[in-house]
């Protein structure tokens, strides 16, 4: 049986061979559990030293300070920690989020509203999913609210995990600073900004200090590390109230015995991903462009992002007229092609994309989407295999769509 064409790297990427080799060696040497990095004996301190080295390597690759790196189980936990941590640090405060955020941010904000009494304000995005800068000032100082609740955090993802649209994060942060009139942390009225960079890291430039961020979340398994490792980069003076208690590890924000093997795997994956970013972006961008040019010739197939919009080189997001997404994915799956309809965190849930709805799409197109995300292992043959299988798969998806609609000529 021929190898499958894996076009779902935005959901998860295979572990890099270098990372797997390092992990195997670490586990063989006993780093998987025989010494606790919090222990004071020699073995524990040796492991603590390896943990510090991993943290420093992550920091160097990201251009941040080692004390700003908090190790987590992944991007979801990192985002949840900063959302809940700020809601707890500013009781009755307001969280400002974009409508196209990952559920890690949106659901955490909703939970903070329900359980911690936080207010939530939602920014506007344009038809490409870019934050409308004018909505930032409106969200920070909403009319008719006297007195306005203090803003505890603004959260905008650097690149969307579904469509691949890239935000101008420096402009977003600049608008926050302009709207509040406070630029320096620690001053009254200062509003911290968080960005989920899970989809962006290794695909486009990420600049924590250059953008002026206060916190950012990242995940290892999108970069070639194993599932279960990630990090929250957060300024040392940003107050986050921990969600749980424990031994005070990771600056008290995430207590618990650290996974040294996982931290070392994350460090290596981040280092490799950042180092190869420019070359991979050029290679994957060419494959993405080939895919989009070819599908443009198919009737009723549309690229979700308009031409000229900044986007990840690795993501091609499409929507289809009169086609059932489930049938399309099933046909591609049977043809040996792995792709998705959108965020893997909503896999199996029959609902329209909240990202596309926020962009102004009707429910029909928002239900009939395909995300093809490319990665290190993606070859030109993988793209050609998709293009070869797509017409027949689309024909079947349209038959399935017609069967579920009462009026044969019904259209979005």
Neighbours of 270 (CB within 10 A): 26
The DSSP element (H or E) to which 95 belongs, if any, is: strand 94-97
The answer to whether 380 touches 287, Cβ cutoff 8 Å, is yes
Geometric angle at alpha carbon 191, from 83 and 129, rounded to 5° = 65
pLDDT at 244: 87
Residue 142 DSSP one-character state: -
**How far is C-alpha 278 from the chain's CA centre?**
19
The DSSP element (H or E) to which 35 belongs, if any, is: none
pLDDT at 408: 46
pLDDT at 407: 52
Residue 201 DSSP one-character state: B
- Asked if 5-12+276-407 and 17-272 have one fold, the answer is no
Q: What is the CATH number of domain 17-272?
A: 3.40.640.10
pLDDT at 31: 79
What are the extents of the domains in the chain?
A: 5-12+276-407, 17-272
The answer to whether 136 touches 193, Cβ cutoff 8 Å, is no
Active site residues: 345
Name which of 257, 261, 256, 254 is nearest 234 in CA terms.
254
Residue with tokens 């609740």: 149
The DSSP element (H or E) to which 400 belongs, if any, is: helix 380-403
Where on the phi/psi map is residue 109: left (φ > 0), alpha (ψ -120 to 50), or beta? Answer: alpha
Name which of 214, 393, 390, 160 is nearest 296 in CA terms.
390
* CATH domain 5-12+276-407 topology: 3.90.1150
Instruction: Tell me the pLDDT of the chain (412 aa) as tens digits.
Output: 468 999 999 999 999 999 999 999 999 988 767 789 999 999 999 999 999 999 999 999 999 999 999 999 999 999 999 999 999 999 999 999 999 999 999 999 999 999 999 999 999 999 999 999 999 999 998 765 556 789 999 999 999 999 999 999 999 999 999 999 999 998 999 999 999 999 999 999 999 999 999 999 999 999 999 999 999 999 999 999 998 888 888 898 998 999 999 999 999 999 999 999 999 999 999 999 999 999 999 999 999 999 999 999 999 999 999 999 999 999 999 999 999 986 554 545 558 999 999 999 999 999 999 999 999 999 999 999 999 999 999 999 999 999 888 554 455 4
Where on the phi/psi map is residue 373: left (φ > 0), alpha (ψ -120 to 50), or beta? Answer: beta
Distance in Å from the first CA to the final CA of the chain: 39
pLDDT at 412: 46
Pairwise CA distance, residues 233 & 250, whole Å:
11
* Rg, Å, the chain Cα set: 22
Pairwise CA distance, residues 315 & 7, whole Å:
9
The DSSP element (H or E) to which 320 belongs, if any, is: strand 315-320
Q: pTM for this one?
A: 0.94
Geometric angle at alpha carbon 46, from 44 and 48, rounded to 5° = 70
The answer to whether 356 touches 369, Cβ cutoff 8 Å, is yes
The answer to whether 322 touches 380, Cβ cutoff 8 Å, is no
């Amino acid at each position: 049986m021929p190898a499958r064409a894996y076009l779902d790297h935005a959901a998860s990427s295979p572990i890099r061979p270098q990372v797997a080799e390092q992990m195997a060696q670490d586990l063989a040497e006993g780093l998987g559990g025989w010494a606790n990095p919090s222990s004071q004996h020699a073995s524990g301190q040796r492991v603590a030293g390896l943990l510090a080295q991993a943290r420093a390597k992550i920091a160097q690759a990201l251009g941040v300070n080692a004390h700003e790196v908090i190790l987590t189980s992944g991007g979801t936990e990192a985002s949840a920690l900063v959302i809940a941590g700020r809601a707890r640090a500013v009781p009755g405060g307001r969280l400002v989020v974009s409508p196209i955020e990952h559920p890690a941010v949106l659901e955490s904000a909703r939970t903070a509203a329900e359980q911690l009494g936080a207010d939530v304000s939602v920014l506007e995005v344009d038809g490409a999913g870019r934050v409308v800068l004018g909505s930032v000032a409106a969200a920070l100082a909403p009319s008719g609210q006297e007195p306005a609740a203090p803003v505890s955090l603004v959260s905008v993802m650097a690149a969307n995990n579904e469509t691949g649209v890239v935000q101008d994060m420096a402009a977003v942060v600049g608008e926050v600073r302009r709207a509040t009139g406070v630029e320096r942390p620690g001053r009254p009225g200062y509003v911290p900004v968080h960005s989920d960079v899970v989809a962006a890291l290794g695909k486009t430039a990420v600049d924590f200090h250059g953008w002026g961020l206060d916190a950012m979340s990242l995940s290892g398994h999108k970069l070639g590390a194993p599932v279960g490792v990630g990090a929250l980069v957060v300024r040392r003076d940003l107050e986050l109230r921990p969600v749980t208690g424990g031994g005070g590890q990771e600056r008290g924000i995430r207590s618990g015995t650290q996974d040294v093997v996982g931290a070392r795997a994350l460090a290596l994956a981040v280092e490799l991903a950042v180092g190869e970013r420019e070359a991979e972006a050029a290679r994957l961008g060419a494959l993405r462009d080939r895919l989009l040019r070819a599908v443009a010739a198919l009737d009723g197939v549309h690229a979700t992002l308009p031409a000229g919009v900044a986007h990840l080189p690795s993501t091609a997001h499409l929507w289809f007229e009169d086609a059932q997404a489930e049938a399309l994915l099933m046909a591609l799956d049977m043809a040996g092609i792995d792709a998705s309809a959108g965020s893997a965190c909503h896999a199996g849930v029959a609902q329209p994309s909240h990202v596309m709805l926020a962009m102004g799409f009707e429910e029909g197109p928002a239900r009939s989407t395909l995300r093809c995300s490319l990665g290190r292992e993606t070859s030109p043959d993988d793209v050609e295999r998709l293009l070869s299988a797509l017409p027949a798969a689309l024909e079947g998806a349209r038959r399935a769509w017609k069967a579920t609609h009462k009026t044969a000529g019904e259209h979005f």
